[in-house]
Amino acid sequence: MRFTTVLGHGKYFWWGKGWGYKPRINTDNFYYKMQWNAKRRRNLEIVEQTLPENVTPIDPNVYVKNRFNLDVNEPPRPFILPWPYSKRPVKGTSDDPKYKNDALIYQRRKRLVEPVNLPLHFTNSILQDELPHPVQNSLDKVKIDSKFIEFCQHRINWCLHHDTALRRLPKNREFPYLDQSPPRVYGVTTNRKENHLLQTLYDISQMWISKQYGINLKIIKQRYTSPNCILPLNRDNKFVILDLECDFITMLSSVNNETLNEVVAFDSNFMINTSKKELQSIHPLSWEVSFNTKNFYNNDYEFMVPPNSTIHSIFLSNNDVRNLTDKDFQGRAIMFCYGYAVQQAKLKHKMDDIEKIDLEKPICVQCVFTNPDNFKVGFVLFQLNTLRFNDTNVRNQVWLMEPKSVTDEIEQMMTNLVGTQSIGLYN
């Protein structure tokens, strides 16, 4: 028998004790195939949904194709003579064409020294102890039965552990087998888990609200993924940019293209409750410590929303490797609520200088955020009463709700979720 071992085409090899197959050098494909075959036999749960009247579904493939064509067909770039016919800029210096003037940038991953006091001081806000009356009434109306809790646990367990898009997970070496390479495991990555958790919680809350209160035929609630929200500001003669990239936001839109009023105010007596109240002291710090000075940043400040719409909620996932506390994520949520509320005020009044805008009614925005520690979900309520940083006659208001775990405190977490998400739709 002749074996073509020189070309590497041999089916059997001699191992000294007998003939056998060639060993697998890279076992990633083998383990991926085994786990995929094991998980593909699961039965998918089909949840039937009844569409309201005068609503027709669209083909998702056609929608994605149209959106892809819009993103690809961009205007051509201007022609620039190549080097050495033109001056060759040094990347990262002031000769670089992308170099801009100094700006104080706040981004999503920025960790604040004073997690809550700094955002309150920067946004000219005060922290309220008790929840506002409309929010508390909405929470008191929520009655969740055990059957719905079991359904929520099933959905949350599915999105955290049984995602069909398997990714390569890092190899976890455990003591005392640190010298041995464990087999490759495929599953759901951390950042994908948190995004799936927010998407699942939003879907569950909308299902409960529709079943409890019915479908609102005048207002529709829409979800917008990865909104481009870059807010430029001027404070103390310094240029400030808030880069507010989040997972998705929800907006309330009018079905009949009528003018939609803002979400009902959390506190209608804000003039009395916030007048002449002092801000939280951050001495000896300055508000500038919460920003990074950069010369290279995105200057696409256009923020587009559908007409006759208002921002309702911000869904923000956090997957920091650092050991952050609940206050760190709450401070981050306050900055996001303030930025999106200011963007909405600028769109309504069509003015860039926010110091000249006089709000007729307060603007209310809420944020749903995650904490990677035991997958907690927290809530922040924000009411924008003034756009002036140094206004002492009236302040903005913030309410914080303690984060709850989706595994150990799921009933309280779902009560807070559906209670806050129903604000503006049925009250």
Contact between 371 and 403 (Cβ < 8 Å) = yes
Contact between 270 and 325 (Cβ < 8 Å) = no
Query: Rounded to an integer, what distance in angstroms lies between the CA atom of residue 248 and that of residue 203?
Result: 13
Query: Rounded to an integer, what distance in angstroms lies between the CA atom of residue 250 and that of residue 312?
Result: 6
Indicate the Cα dihedral angle 139, 143, 148, 149, nearest 10°: 70
Angle at 27 between CA 18 and CA 32, to 5 degrees: 130
Q: Which of 408, 100, 55 shows the shortest CA–CA distance to 241?
A: 100
- In this prediction the pTM is 0.77
DSSP state of 264: P
Region of residue 263 (phi > 0: left; psi between -120 and 50: alpha; otherwise: beta) = beta
Helices (H), 116-223: 117-122, 133-140, 146-161, 190-213
Omega cis (within 30) before 134: no
Using CB atoms within 10 A of its CB, is residue 364 exposed (0-12), middle (13-18) or buried (19+)?
A: buried
Contact between 167 and 147 (Cβ < 8 Å) = no
Give the torsion sign (CA, 181, 186, 191, 197): negative
Enter the tokens of residue 395: 């302040």
Enter the tokens of residue 265: 């105010």
Q: Which residues contact 210 (CB under 8 A, 6 or more apart)?
A: none
How much is the pLDDT for 380? 97
Contact between 312 and 144 (Cβ < 8 Å) = no
Q: Are strands 376-384 and 396-405 parallel, antiparallel or unpaired?
A: antiparallel
Look up residue 382 and give its amino acid. Answer: F
How much is the pLDDT for 71? 59
Query: Rounded to an integer, what distance in angstroms lies between the CA atom of residue 350 and that of residue 147?
Result: 48
Query: Rounded to an integer, what distance in angstroms lies between the CA atom of residue 107 and that of residue 323?
Result: 18
Task: Give the distance, in angstroms, between the CA of residue 165 and the centroid of all CA atoms in the same chain.
Answer: 20
- Tens-place pLDDT, residues 65-98: 887 776 566 666 777 776 666 666 677 777 777 8
Q: Which residues contact 38 (CB under 8 A, 6 or more apart)?
A: none
- Residues of the chain scoring pLDDT < 70: 1-11, 13-18, 22-24, 70-76, 82-89, 163-165, 188-191, 257-263, 320-322, 426-427
Task: Give the distance, in angstroms, between the CA of residue 90 and the centroid of all CA atoms in the same chain.
Answer: 36
Bridge partner list, 194 = none
Q: Which residues contact 363 (CB under 8 A, 6 or more apart)?
A: 262, 263, 341, 344, 345, 383, 384
Query: Rounded to an integer, what distance in angstroms lies between the CA atom of residue 94 and that of residue 87?
Result: 13
How much is the pLDDT for 11? 67
